[in-house]
Amino acid sequence: MPFDTTWPPLDADTAERERAGDAAVAAWLFVVAGMIVVMVALGGATRLTGSGLSIMEWRPLTGWLPPLSEAEWNRLFALYRTIPQYLEVNRGMDLAGFKEIFWLEYLHRVWGKLIGVVFAGGALALALTGRLRRALWPRVGVLFALGGLQGLLGWFMVASGFFAHRTTVSPYRLTMHLGLAFVIFAAVLWTALGLLSPRPSEAPPRPVKAAVHAAGALALLTMLAGGFVAGIRAGFSYNTFPLMDGALVPAGYADLQPFVLNFFENIAAVQFNHRLLATVTLAAALAAAVLGWRAGRPWRGPVLMLAGTIALQYVLGVATLLAVVPVSLGTLHQTMAVLVLGAFVIAAHRLRRVVA
């Protein structure tokens, strides 16, 4: 049901106040969505620079300030020197080197706290001024709870990197963390769009709607597969395209037993699956673009935007692979995934069913 279902009908002044309130709430949610995009970018840069394990303490409500004394820096560095990443990858690193990896993880965590403050503070301010309607309170509460869960899941992911013989975080936990970020972003964006745009009175063409949903679902699956590519650093191998080590399907695709492990832990299989899913997603997006173009306005714009972002992400993914995943391209590729998701949410929202 749309948000503005009220009986009896509102008078003109009350309806105008509600519209103004909804616009303010939507603007707040768009800010939060933008902050989530930045958070995903910071997470990508943190992972690619190996900075994510530099802070071995989780202080969700405190920890706003960085170390302010040499003694505190040395204490945190001593903690870091106890984990496998230091012992097996960064042995011999001095305090100056530790500070370099510390600051990015610190910024990542502080930005996450800022998102919580902006969300909770904005919700409280909008509620106290009467602009956040009671009908939205449960949804806002769920979004806030999901944000808290994301923080907990982030620490659960980081803690996996402290285990013996592990120099990175668990790819399973990393993908869960990334997937929940996508869920929160999509829910925030969908809610904001719903406040600004009533349901369309004209039914969307079924073929266009089906094609957009197929392309979006495939894009989401590709993103989750990309989480495993990132988690096991599969992008640093088979840096040719379209062939992998001279073959369409790499020779080591089924090396692990049981076979299902190849989908998550085998570099050759994980990268091949990500490539395959991306290619199928691109084909689905182009098919949706053709259907959207033929359908004309008002469906054409959102569908072409979705197809365009998917095509750009595909090209960016190939460039990242061929360049052997530099931090800049790798971070941009992960950030672009959120923008693809945003384009899908916008298109799906425009193509939702008409008012009953």
Q: First CA to last CA across the chain, in angstroms?
A: 9
Q: Tell me the per-residue pLDDT of 183-205, one tens digit each, with 9 for 90 and over.
A: 999 999 999 999 998 666 678 88
19 compared with 337, residue with greater pLDDT: 337
- Residue 343, token pair as written in the block: 């384009």
pLDDT tens for 213-225 read 999 999 999 999 9
Which pLDDT value is given to residue 5?
A: 45
pLDDT tens-place string over residues 65-99: 999 999 999 999 999 999 999 999 999 999 999 99
- Please state, for a pLDDT cut of 70, what percent of the chain lies above it: 94
The position carrying tokens 């003694």 is: 71
- The model's pTM is 0.93
Is the pLDDT at 294 greater than 70, yes or no?
yes
Mean of the per-residue pLDDT values of the chain: 92
Q: At residue 251, does pLDDT exceed 60?
A: yes
Delimit the domains of the chain by residue range: 1-198, 200-356
Residue 356 has pLDDT above 50, yes or no: no
